[in-house]
Amino acid sequence: MPKGGSKMEKLKAFGKINLALDVLGKRPDGYHEVRMIMQTIGIYDRLFMEESEGEEVLIESNLSLLPCDENNLVYKAAKLLMNEFGIRRGLKVKLEKQIPVAAGLAGGSSDAAATLVGVNRIFDLGLSKEELMERGVKIGADVPYCVMRGTALSEGIGEKLTPLDPVPGDVHVVLAKIPVSVSTARVYGGLKPEDIKERPDIDGMIKAIGDGDIRGIASAMGNVLETVTIPMYPRLAEIKKAFMDEGALGSLMSGSGPTVFGLFDDIKKARKAYRNIKVMEPSAQVFLTRMLNSYG
């Protein structure tokens, strides 16, 4: 235990991919109405959280480019709960980043979600998962999902969540993130309905998920934001093609990008794709992982 018997929490903040992403339109408040299938994957950041003296939220990270002040979503999440419940104690957070930043994998949102869980435990707030999700949307649209995890239909601005059946457990995911940062606001702002020739079959995917049909899931994948991001970074189309050439059941950009992933039902093909994509894209961050449906 830390000095003085203060509480400590160690948490994993898992990343996500979008198996499908459709944008239905722009709302009067400026947000976009979306319909998405979200899926937790096995790459994660680690958070070590400890009650401390004083009243400050202190963050340190292994990533020097990451802000460790009020601009960090971890800080915002901690302060959200601490201010609401009048907590006059301090908090130290050590954040070990593994999920690429600005990658379309919800790394920052997942860190915020884990922080909500940790603060709830450390200060004995007694909030349920649903209550944490309600607060999470104040920080970001993906935060409620990152509290929930698993496979889910996401609607509204991303805050309306419907849990779905778990995807088959033998699905392997290879991801590649090229060294560019994509502005989500810029991508959504550049979306033109007339450029969208094909939309994801989200209802078909929900049925395929219920049937445990990974090929059906892959055939229904789609992301309308590719119509904006891929013209900006044509290399993403080449990586998608490379995944398919390696035997992926499907390949897609996650979120607003620039991460592209391939789904495989054969671990040997997944490992070969992982090796070959690393050679093809030596400057990219490449991962081999799986879909997760556990909540541990």
Q: Block means of pLDDT (10 residues each) for the chain, length 296 residues?
A: 67 97 86 92 97 93 90 97 96 96 94 98 96 95 95 92 90 96 89 86 96 95 96 97 98 97 97 98 97 66
Task: Report the C-alpha gap between 134 and 47 in whole angstroms.
Answer: 22
pLDDT value, residue 5: 56
Q: Give CA–CA dist 276/294, Å, rounded.
A: 30
Residue 26 has a pLDDT of: 82
Check if the beta carbon of residue 291 is closer than 8 Å to that of residue 39. Answer: yes
16 noted as active-site residue: yes
pTM of the model: 0.93
Q: Which of 16, 76, 92, 177 is catalytic?
A: 16
* Greatest distance between any 2 Cα atoms in the chain: 62
pLDDT of residue 294: 53
Domain limits, the chain? 3-163, 172-290
Q: Which two tokens stand for residue 109?
A: 């949102």
In this predicted structure, what is the pLDDT of residue 276?
98
Q: Which of 92, 142, 177, 240 is catalytic?
A: 142
Residue 32 is predicted with a pLDDT of: 84
Fold of 3-163: Ribosomal Protein S5; domain 2 (3.30.230)
> What's the token pair of residue 125?
């707030």
- Does the domain at 172-290 match CATH 3.40.50.2020? Answer given as no
Is 111 designated active site? no
